[in-house]
Amino acid sequence: MNVVVCVKQIPDPAAPPALDPGTKNLVRDGKLILDDSDAYGVEMALQLVDAAGEGEVTLVSMAPNGEVSGLRTALAMGAAKAILVSDPALAGTDALGTAKVLAAAIKRAEPDLILAATESSDGYTGTTPVQIAELLGLPSVTFAKKVEVTGSSVKVERQTEAGYDEVECPLPAIVTVTAGVVEPRYPSFKGIMAAKSKPVENLTVADLGIDVGQVGFAGARQEITNVAPADARAAGEIVVDEGEGHLRVIEFLEQLKVL
């Protein structure tokens, strides 16, 4: 079974995020790392290929600047190869443009199953995987907390507001996974060394036969007109607990007539 995992390389979440003063888009030109939320899809894919006994995991990603360090992390976990669409024309691409690029790249890999995170940790738009599904004419099951493949179908436990649904879906399909689906492995030393020589295919937007007007700022067809600080909450009262802190909480709840 061949599984494609959509992965995103994002600015280190530990560093304070910043907006470009001109475009007001998130600054993404520094070092990029593998989005933590993608590690679950990579792990899930590796386990499904293992269980099937054949096939491989291919990563598909997009970046304006040719960055590969995040991809190497996922290759070190065990993915076989990666397709990276990298092109200066991609700067400013929105979710729909991203989906068009990724869908075209995924087609080349002819996967049985496509996995993605429910949303990225930097932009958290959360629509790209479903947009890819629609572009490819495939079914999708989002917010999976359990994924099993039997024969030519996938069985998913999908989160709902009230609990979860069991959903069955024929392959090929797109499934988005939550962070609870599996425990991602840490890359081994051997894996890290092996990852250095694994193939990363670099493609441009033109290689995929996509018109550059469909991507980038022009393709996004939306603009940020203003950025302003949100109404700040007035500074609150801070009490260091020396054994009586709970009494101040009780008093506070009484004032609010909650008690």
Partner 1 sequence: MTIAKIWVVAEVVDGSPTTASLELVSHARTLAGAVEAVVWGEGASTAGILGEYGATTVHDVGDLGGGLPGAPVAASIAAAVAAGTGPDAVLLPATYDGRDVAGRLSVKLDRPVLTNVVGLAEADGGLASQHAIFGGAEILTTRFTSEGPGIFVVRAKSFPAEASGGAPAAVVAAPAPDTGASNAARIVARHVEERTGPKLDEAEVVVSGGRGLGEKENYVLIEQLAGLLHGAAGASRAIVDAGWVPYSHQVGQTGKTVKPTVYMACGISGATQHMVGMKNSKNIVAINKDQDAPIFQVADLGIVGDVHKIIPKLIEAIQARN
If one asks whether residue 146 binds partner 1 (CB under 8 A), the answer comes out as: no
Rounded to the nearest 10 degrees, the angle between the axes of helix 69-77 and helix 36-52 is 30
Which candidate, 69, 70, 62, 66, places its Cα nearest to that of 37? Answer: 70
> Binding to partner 1 (CB under 8 A): which residues in 190-219?
none
Among 59, 95, 101, 102, binds partner 1 (CB under 8 A): 95
Closest distance between partner 1 and the C-beta of residue 85, in Å? 18
Contact 120, 154 (CB under 8 A): no
Buried/exposed 76-93: b ≥16 CB within 10 Å, e otherwise: bbbbbebbbbbbebbbbb
Short-list 177, 158, 168, CA closest to 47:
177
Residues of this chain, 61-80, that bind partner 1 according to CB under 8 A: none
First-to-last C-alpha distance (Å) of the chain: 59
Minimum Å gap between C-beta 231 and partner 1 is 9
Q: Give the whole-angstrom CA distance, residue 207 versus residue 24.
A: 29
Q: Which stretch binds partner 1 (CB under 8 A): 60-68, 74-82, 83-91, 178-186?
A: 178-186
Shorter beta-carbon distance to partner 1: residue 29 or 252? 252
Give least dist CB 127 to partner 1, A.
4
- Is 220 a binding residue for partner 1 by CB under 8 A? The answer is yes
Position among 30, 66, 88, 170 found at the interface with partner 1 (CB under 8 A): 170
13-52 positions binding partner 1, by CB under 8 A: 17, 24
Helix (H, G, I), strand (E, B) or coil at 243: coil
Nearer to partner 1 among residue 36 and residue 207 (C-beta)? 36
**3-11, 44-52, 63-71, 242-250 -> range binding partner 1 (CB under 8 A):** 242-250
If binding is defined by CB under 8 A, does position 99 make contact with partner 1?
yes
When the beta carbons of 3 and 82 are compared against partner 1, the nearer one is 3
* Per-residue interface string for the shown chain with partner 1, residues 114-133, x marking contact by CB under 8 A: ----xx----xxxxxxxx-x
Q: Give the total of residues touching partner 1 (CB under 8 A).
A: 74
